[in-house]
Amino acid sequence: MHLNTSNKKKINFSKMHGLGNDFMVIESITQDFVLSSSQIKQLSNRHTGIGFDQLLLIEKSNSVEFDFYYRIFNSNGNEVEQCGNGARCVGLFLILKGLTNKKKINLNTNKKNIIINFISEDIIEVNMNEPIFTLNSIVNSEKFKNHNFLTKILDNNLLCSLVSIGNPHCIIQVESIKHAPVKTIGRIIEKQSIFPEGINVGFMQILNKNYIKLRVYERNEGETQSCGSGACAAVAVGIIQNILSNNVQVELLGGILSIKWKGFRNSLYMTGPAKYIYEGCIYI
């Protein structure tokens, strides 16, 4: 069968994942194209498109301080601020495509700047900067005086802890993530009007001070196999509550991340794998 692509623009892409959190990665450094929100939504469809949790777009940086500009789009076409698993995949993509030979890469995003360090061929450390606990970065209600608050949802009394890792997170400690109502409670909290940009909801089970299990309901996405910024958020909350150590292994549905944070006025570091799956092209 012959496809007529003469009037369409060819875009090369790579499919990648970080612990099952999967991405379509595209660079606009050597390619010239524009994707609309509706086109991103179509491409994200797992039945009729490429299928992915997020689209990662790599552009030239406008500043000599940074190597590249990095943008993240959810599967609904909306641009978001941060993706820890995606950052590791971007680093691996840049090396595989020969766009850099650096082992330390400075990325500029629309809210935070992050630094990627290669520990080994596919194990990558990301400097996620310092977690933000100031409430005005997360909520639009003056009734909140503390980043911890109690709420009752579906007969469950929940202690919620708020933190921003460049994107907003609500962390809830549970006895067992296996039995936690992740989808129902995550959906309710995500849509609360007090969160102007929505919020990611993490359900954390503490096994000991150095090891936790985590499931994350991501805003506009639902539960995903892994959420790097969610792992960072959970550990940050546990550290300031003095229930976790400064070095924690986080077991997500897709695998394990290592999170290190020495506390306030220090950057938080996330280490984990990035995997290349395949590459292809689309015509828009």
CA torsion 128-129-132-137 (nearest 10°) is -80
pLDDT of residue 145: 58
Specify the range with the lowest mean pLDDT, choosing from 21-25, 147-151, 267-271, 277-281. 147-151
pLDDT of residue 158: 85
Q: In the prediction, which pLDDT does 51 show?
A: 96
Residue whose tokens read 């990301």: 126
Q: Which two tokens stand for residue 241?
A: 């509550």
In the chain the domains, ranked by start, together with CATH numbers, are 10-129+273-283 (3.10.310.10), 135-266 (3.10.310.10)
Q: Is the pLDDT of residue 60 over 50?
A: yes
Asked if residues 81 and 166 have their Cβ atoms less than 8 Å apart, the reply is yes
Rg of the chain taking only CA atoms, in angstroms: 19
The C-alpha atoms of residue 183 and residue 151 are separated, in whole angstroms, by 17
Helix, strand or coil for residue 255?
strand
pLDDT at 1: 44
Residue 132's DSSP bridge partners are 164
pLDDT digits (tens, 9 = 90+) for 130-187: 999 988 778 876 656 567 777 778 777 888 899 999 899 999 999 999 999 999 999 9
Backbone torsions φ then ψ of 89, nearest 5 degrees:
-65, -35
pTM of the model: 0.92
Pair 116, 125: CB distance under 8 Å = yes
Answer whether residue 3 shows pLDDT above 80. no
Give the pLDDT band of residue 197 (cuts 50, 70, 90). confident
Catalytic residues: 83, 227
Structural contact between residues 134 and 162, judged by C-beta atoms closer than 8 angstroms? no
CA separation for the pair 55, 9 (Å, rounded)? 18
Identify the weakest region by mean pLDDT among 39-53, 82-96, 110-124, 239-253: 110-124
- For residue 59, pLDDT over 90 is answered with yes
pLDDT tens per residue, range 102-118: 999 999 888 778 999 99
Per-residue pLDDT tens over the stretch 64-80: 999 999 999 999 999 98
Given this model, what pLDDT does residue 194 score? 84
